[in-house]
Amino acid sequence: MSAEPEAKLLLRIPSSRHWQEEAVTLVTQFTISRLLRFERMLREWDGPLSVTIYLTDASDIDALQSYLSDESKLASFRKIALTVVKPDYSINEEALVARLRYPINRLRNLALDLAPTLFVLVTDVDFVPSPNMHTLLHTRGVPLILHPSAPTSSPTLYRTAIAISAFILSPSLSPSYPTTPSLLSSFLSSSPPLAALTDSNAGHGPSLPSLLFHAGPSGLSSLLDWPRKRWSYDVCYEPQWEPYYLLHRASHPLYDERFTDQGGDKQSHALLLNALGFDFKILRDVWFMHPPKGEPGEDEWPSARLADPGEEGREMDDPTHFSNGQRDETRWRYFEDFLPELERRWGANVRWPRGCSARVVGGRSFGRAKAGTIFGM
């Protein structure tokens, strides 16, 4: 169900390369203002991508044509499945509000639909994959989904989600990124820290990053249990968790298109997976990196143009700054609208971790990063 009038599909181009079904497609969406960030992601990911580009303004059409005409990028473009969405550019208030309410989950679903492989990893374009992420997901993550530790009720249902830890980097590191787990670990433990979990509370805290760099059990037991224990560890769903995860498309629910802009768009999907009984695992040796903030305006969402006139002087990274588009109570909201809907269907305990063992539930706070954020995130 979509809350806003649907924008038009301007272009859909499948990937021109042939991929193995068990390859992993990186799925993302963005506006023209984030093209440089997409370039960064494209350089680091050696597998297929499926992307949806939202043309917020009419001038974005020319900018995209210029970008796609760059012959030096043609080889990279072959691994991309591309969807382009053009909203209504009519000059009236209703059309303006609809256009600037970024339809984030609809864009995700469109990109998912064009993914050329059985396995997909949905992420945001602001994040950079760690080195060799595609290979490690293909060789270590995919087997965890295809061969779960507990039998499923159907051979076609794959209810395991492989979550990827996400970190923000200090501005002093730009443009360098940690290339090995040991280097990232040293950045996290340095004083002052050079890296931190993007949201050490509900957002990404449940990934238990202190376990990320533990080598796992060794000896005969590790050989017998590989890859379940050596390359991954179990975590429990927690309310408001919003991880990025690898899933099998056959068991991948669509994102709720009633969510627009930021707020509840990913949390709602993770909660749905929990309601369906998914178990969550963290894969070691892979991570996402959020580089320091870019130039003014680069991080701005389209709905920022709907800001209150009296807030013009407020910095956009001020956590108390919310645009009219974000505050508008006609928007679909997580706590007021989505959560009660799921509670009516799945019961009042829908947020209790359903895919975890008692042992994991009892120790789920172990390894949690310290609360708080750094680097202005």
Verify that 58 and 117 share a domain, yes or no.
Answer: yes
Whether residue 334 is contained in a domain is answered as: no
Chain centre distance of CA 301? 16
Whether residue 65 is contained in a domain is answered as: yes
Verify that 116 and 190 share a domain, yes or no.
Answer: no
Q: What is the pLDDT of residues 66-117, one digit of tens each?
A: 999 998 888 889 999 999 999 999 888 888 888 999 999 999 999 999 999 9
The answer to whether the beta carbons of residues 325 and 303 sit under 8 Å apart is yes
pLDDT at 361: 55
Most confident listed range (70-79, 142-151, 367-376)? 70-79
Say if residue 376's pLDDT is above 90: no
Domain end marker among 73, 105, 126: 126
Which amino acid appears at position 233 of this protein? Y
Say if residue 161's pLDDT is above 90: yes
Find where tokens 């968790």 sit.
241
What tokens appear for 289 in the block?
């990196």
Instruction: Choose between 23 and 369: higher pLDDT.
Output: 23
Closest CA to 31 of 55, 63, 65, 57: 55
Verify that 24 and 166 share a domain, yes or no.
Answer: no
Domain end marker among 109, 126, 143: 126
Whether residue 141 is contained in a domain is answered as: no
Whether residue 267 is contained in a domain is answered as: yes
Whether residue 137 is contained in a domain is answered as: no
Verify that 167 and 225 share a domain, yes or no.
Answer: yes
Q: Name the strand (E) or helix (H) holding 119.
A: strand 119-122
DSSP-assigned letter for residue 47: S
Instruction: Choose between 121 and 228: higher pLDDT.
Output: 121
Verify that 43 and 2 share a domain, yes or no.
Answer: yes
Domain end marker among 126, 149, 180: 126
Verify that 120 and 164 share a domain, yes or no.
Answer: no
Please state the domain count of the chain.
Answer: 2
pLDDT at 230: 78
Verify that 2 and 72 share a domain, yes or no.
Answer: yes
Verify that 235 and 353 share a domain, yes or no.
Answer: yes
Q: State the pTM of this model.
A: 0.86
Instruction: Choose between 287 and 206: higher pLDDT.
Output: 287
Whether residue 22 is contained in a domain is answered as: yes
Q: What is the pLDDT of residues 58-67, one digit of tens each?
A: 999 999 999 9
Verify that 207 and 72 share a domain, yes or no.
Answer: no
The answer to whether the beta carbons of residues 88 and 98 sit under 8 Å apart is yes
Q: Would you put residue 135 in left (φ > 0), alpha (ψ -120 to 50) or beta?
A: alpha
Q: Determine the Cα angle at 288 with ends 285 and 294, to 5°.
A: 150
Whether residue 320 is contained in a domain is answered as: no
In Å, what is the CA distance from 301 to each residue of 104, 266, 369? Answer: 11, 16, 28
Please state at what angle helix 267-275 crosses helix 339-346, rounded to 10 degrees: 0
Say if residue 147's pLDDT is above 90: no
pLDDT at 296: 58
Residue 294: pLDDT band by 50, 70, 90 thresholds? low
Strands 195-197, 80-86: pairing kind = unpaired
pLDDT at 250: 92
Verify that 113 and 199 share a domain, yes or no.
Answer: no
Verify that 366 and 293 share a domain, yes or no.
Answer: yes
Exposure string over 37-50, b if 16+ CB within 10 A, otherwise e: bbebbbebbebbbb
Verify that 116 and 216 share a domain, yes or no.
Answer: no
Whether residue 313 is contained in a domain is answered as: no
Domain holding 40, by residue range, is 1-126
CA distance 231 to 217: 9
